[in-house]
Amino acid sequence: MKRTVLSLVFLTGLGIIAPAYAQSSTNQQPTRVSLSDYSTSSTASAEASASEEPRESQAAPESEPRPEYAPREVEAEIPETEEAADDEAWHLLPQDGAIRVYGWVDAGVTANSGNPVSRYNGPVSFNDRNELQMNQLYAVIEKPLSEEEGRWNFAGRVDVLFGSDYIFTQAAGLELRDDYSPKWNSGPLYGLAMPQLYGEMAYDKLNIRLGHFYTIIGYEVVTAPDNFFTSHAYTMQYGEPFTHTGGRASYAMTDELSLTGGLVNGWDKWDAVTNRAAFLGGVNFTPDHELYTVAFSLITGEEDGALPPILGNRTVYSLVVSLNLTEKLQYVIEHDNGWQANGLGTDETTRWYGLNQYLLYTLNDNWKAGIRGEWFKDADGTRVTGVRATNPYKGGSAGDFYEISLGLNWTRFSNVTVRPEVRWDWFNGEGTMPYDDNTKNSQFLANCDFIVSW
């Protein structure tokens, strides 16, 4: 208990900036808060209501956020530079037709101070190897929803991802066989995934989505242009699902409050050996002044325990609070808590939980800076693993994972963003040492990636 309290105090200290909020609340032009406002792209106005989770980026007319609220353009008077980014992004194909095709390429390199022989960065995901990686060659084909009121509108979307990030978005029964063995892809480093394939319909404030789609749980997302940092938090990778198959409905109760609820086939499943319905839901609140946003999401249902076919209830909730501290400064805090019944065996429940904090600052038209501090507790050493089969780290570290990341985003041209980042990870607990091929409890990473939209 003492260690947990100290961890919370440590990470909360990164975000002690409430005085700035008090000073700025009377002067700022408020906007809804999201990583997309500080993402790799120039954010455009949302096309639909908050219940539809719209978010436009320079690379995508509607990239999918987690959680579901629609940010507006920041109206702050940011100092202009002589090298301001172009106002309009270039697209390979026209974006004014009934069907739109767009996407991006994301590639980067990571350096590990330990220089592990395996070239793996332990449990760090997405930029998980100490080398050059082509993370995402991403394509979206969609028919967007229209804005006509008083009638049903129909839309659909397909996302295809090729690159090293494919392995994080696979679903049993789709890219994988129903027992999670390889199906589409034989190699561990590069492959193909289809993280979204859905149809949707909307009537005024109601939106219904059916098919295969990204989760609403948590804050960080798969799509590279919608994240400030290249690397990802432990919370996103190991504490939350990535995709669902099923249906959900969202309804904007008021201009401030929206609700989401639905039934899905659990975590990252299309059609697995064990299929069980799970409840997926969320609440998003943004007051009229838009100085903050509160998003709560939850999924609960039966999932495989440690000894299949033994099942147990798996539940995780995520609470994300985003604040506009000034015209150029955002603060985000996320808390996740999850548990799995029969996770270590019959009648043994495993738990994981944590706290993430982000401080994001717009320097000028071209440069943005950010810091992320995270504490993630894998209480029983069952959640954090190495993901790829060739990664020597297989998990078994029961304790506290910490990381601090410092990053910059440079967007000189609307279609190009560069994201340099440095990151320090350390582990405090028992079991396997997670870094430098299971020989160390800490590591330092430096990485930089490039995103080019088309």
Residue carrying the six token digits 């990870």: 425
Q: What percent of the chain has pLDDT over 90?
A: 75
Per-residue model confidence (pLDDT) at position 87: 63
pLDDT over threshold 90, residue 27 = no
pTM: 0.83
Task: Measure Cα distances from 193 to 172, 204, 376 in Å.
Answer: 12, 33, 28
**330 backbone dihedrals φ, ψ, rounded to 5°:** -115, 145
- Would you call 142 helix, strand, or coil by DSSP? strand
Nearest-angstrom CA–CA distance, 167 and 52: 27
pLDDT over threshold 80, residue 247 = yes
Residue range 331-339: average pLDDT?
98
The angle subtended at Cα 336 by Cα 112 and Cα 37, nearest 5°, is 70
Of residues 97 and 226, more confidence is placed in 226
pLDDT over threshold 90, residue 398 = yes
Is the separation of the CB atoms in 447 and 108 below 8 Å?
yes
Pull the structure tokens for residue 270: 């299309």
**Which helix (H) or strand (E) element contains residue 352?**
strand 348-362
Nearest to 107 by CA among 195, 18, 190: 190
Per-residue model confidence (pLDDT) at position 116: 97
Is the separation of the CB atoms in 261 and 279 below 8 Å?
yes
Q: How do residues 167-209 score in pLDDT, each as one tens digit?
A: 999 999 999 999 999 999 999 999 999 999 999 999 999 999 9
pLDDT class of 85 with cuts at 50, 70, 90: low
**300 backbone dihedrals φ, ψ, rounded to 5°:** -145, 135
Per-residue model confidence (pLDDT) at position 346: 85
Q: How do residues 270-319 score in pLDDT, each as one tens digit?
A: 999 999 999 999 999 999 999 999 999 999 999 998 877 889 999 999 99
Per-residue model confidence (pLDDT) at position 371: 98
Nearest-angstrom CA–CA distance, 360 and 133: 26
pLDDT over threshold 80, residue 33 = no
Nearest-angstrom CA–CA distance, 319 and 67: 9
Write down all domains in the chain, each with its CATH number in brackets. Answer: 2-453 (2.40.160.10)
Is the separation of the CB atoms in 167 and 188 below 8 Å?
yes
pLDDT over threshold 90, residue 367 = yes
**413 backbone dihedrals φ, ψ, rounded to 5°:** -120, 145
Nearest to 109 by CA among 143, 134, 78, 92: 134
Residue range 224-245: average pLDDT?
98
pLDDT over threshold 70, residue 221 = yes
pLDDT over threshold 90, residue 21 = no
Q: How do residues 317-333 score in pLDDT, each as one tens digit?
A: 999 999 999 999 999 99
pLDDT class of 20 with cuts at 50, 70, 90: very low
Q: How do residues 45-65 score in pLDDT, each as one tens digit?
A: 333 333 334 333 333 333 344
Q: Is 22 exposed, middle or buried (0-12, 13-18, 19+ CB in 10 A)?
A: exposed
Per-residue model confidence (pLDDT) at position 86: 53
Q: Which amino acid is at 330?
A: Q
pLDDT over threshold 90, residue 29 = no
Q: What percent of the chain has pLDDT over 70?
A: 81
Helical H segments across 356-397, by residue range: none
Of residues 283 and 412, more confidence is placed in 283
pLDDT class of 13 with cuts at 50, 70, 90: very low
Pull the structure tokens for residue 313: 């209830």
Nearest-angstrom CA–CA distance, 411 and 59: 13
Pull the structure tokens for residue 328: 């150029």
Cβ of 24: how many Cβ atoms within 10 Å? Answer: 17
